[in-house]
């Protein structure tokens, strides 16, 4: 059943979510309210028929699902402003704010409004996000609706909230790790003869294809590696040299360093 959705904070992430919901036809423009203070960036949504303005309370009143997509330092004042309009029987609050815990959000609201935390990544701009979801107080139907919503914007998984920092590292920082891996391939590709543009295409599409193999076939990476590694061949020679240089170890250590940093 279509619900009216308010996106509070139509910035990078908020606008990408709006774009994906419209493109996938999960939402019709009239069902979508998008707010921010500087409206000049939201003209394309207004032209399509979305409600675009700066009145967060009005957006909450007009909607059932509230997606909070502002910076961490902005949310307390906004919740203080909209909490009188929030109704536990009507609303679900979805927060994409990094580091804002459900308990903090519920405390700020002061009412038992179901809260769902979502951790997407930047590929949400092309509806290819990995979005981790955690919740408190949401019914199975509400949760399934929100999973469906983020399902329009990529893949989803439900996790315990205590894993949200780990999800930030693996799912959101993970985009940057993958970019570095691809960049290194491009640098190597140029050294063995390709121009930069051709090396970029080959590197990015090869990584995309490798990821799709795992996602579509559900295989383990090592099963796919076995198919490429001829005995005494060039692939295994390259892979083993990478491991001698600490490839897997440096990735794991980097990931753990990000996690330690986020944990403070």
- Which residues of this chain interact with ligand NAP, rule CB under 6 A? 8-14, 35-38, 56, 69-72, 74, 78, 96-98, 119-122, 172
Q: How far is the CB of 15 from ligand NAP (least distance, A)?
A: 8
Nearer to ligand NAP, 4 or 36 (CB): 36
Shortest Cβ 248–ligand NAP spacing (Å) = 26
DSSP state of 81: H
Q: Which is nearer to ligand NAP, 3 or 57 (CB)?
A: 57
Residue closest to ligand NAP when measured from CB atoms: 11
Record the tokens describing residue 251, joined without a space. 């990735």
Strand, helix or coil at 141? helix
Shortest distance in whole angstroms from residue 139 CB to ligand NAP: 25
> What are 130's strand-pairing partners?
155
CA–CA separation, 49 and 80 (whole Å)? 29
* 111-to-82, 136, 142, 229 alpha-carbon distances in Å: 12, 13, 17, 58
Contact 156, 140 (CB under 8 A): no
For ligand NAP, which is the closer residue by CB, 134 or 199?
134
Query: Strand 51-53 relative to strand 65-68: parallel, antiparallel, unpaired?
Result: unpaired
C-beta closer to ligand NAP: residue 38 or 248: 38
Write down the least CB distance from residue 124 to ligand NAP, Å: 7
Residue closer to ligand NAP by CB (options 75, 199) is 75
Whether 173 contacts 148, CB under 8 Å: no
**Residue 100 C-beta: closest distance to ligand NAP, Å:** 7
């Amino acid at each position: 059943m279509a619900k009216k959705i308010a996106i509070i904070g139509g910035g990078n992430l908020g606008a990408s979510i709006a774009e994906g919901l419209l493109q996938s036809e999960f939402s019709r423009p009239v069902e979508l309210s998008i707010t921010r203070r500087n409206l000049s960036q939201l003209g394309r949504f207004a032209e399509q028929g979305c409600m675009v303005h700066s009145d967060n309370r009005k957006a909450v009143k007009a909607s059932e699902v509230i997606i909070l997509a502002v910076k961490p330092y902005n949310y307390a004042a906004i919740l203080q402003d909209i909490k009188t309009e929030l109704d536990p029987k009507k609303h679900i609050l979805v927060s994409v704010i990094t580091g804002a815990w459900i308990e903090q959000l519920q405390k700020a609201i002061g009412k038992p409004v179901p809260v769902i935390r979502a951790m997407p990544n930047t590929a949400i701009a092309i509806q290819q996000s990995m979005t981790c979801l955690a919740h408190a107080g949401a019914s199975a139907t509400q949760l399934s609706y929100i999973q469906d919503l983020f399902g329009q914007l990529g893949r989803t998984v439900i996790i315990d909230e205590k894993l949200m920092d780990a999800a930030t590292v693996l799912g959101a920082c993970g985009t940057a790790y993958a970019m570095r891996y691809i960049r290194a391939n491009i640098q190597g590709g140029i050294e063995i003869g390709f121009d930069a543009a051709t090396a970029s295409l080959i590197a990015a599409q090869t990584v995309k294809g490798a990821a799709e193999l795992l996602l579509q076939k559900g295989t383990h990476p090592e099963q796919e590696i076995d198919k490429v590694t001829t005995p005494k061949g060039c692939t295994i020679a390259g892979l083993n040299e990478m491991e001698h240089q600490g490839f897997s170890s440096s990735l794991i250590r980097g990931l753990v360093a990000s996690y330690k940093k986020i944990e403070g």
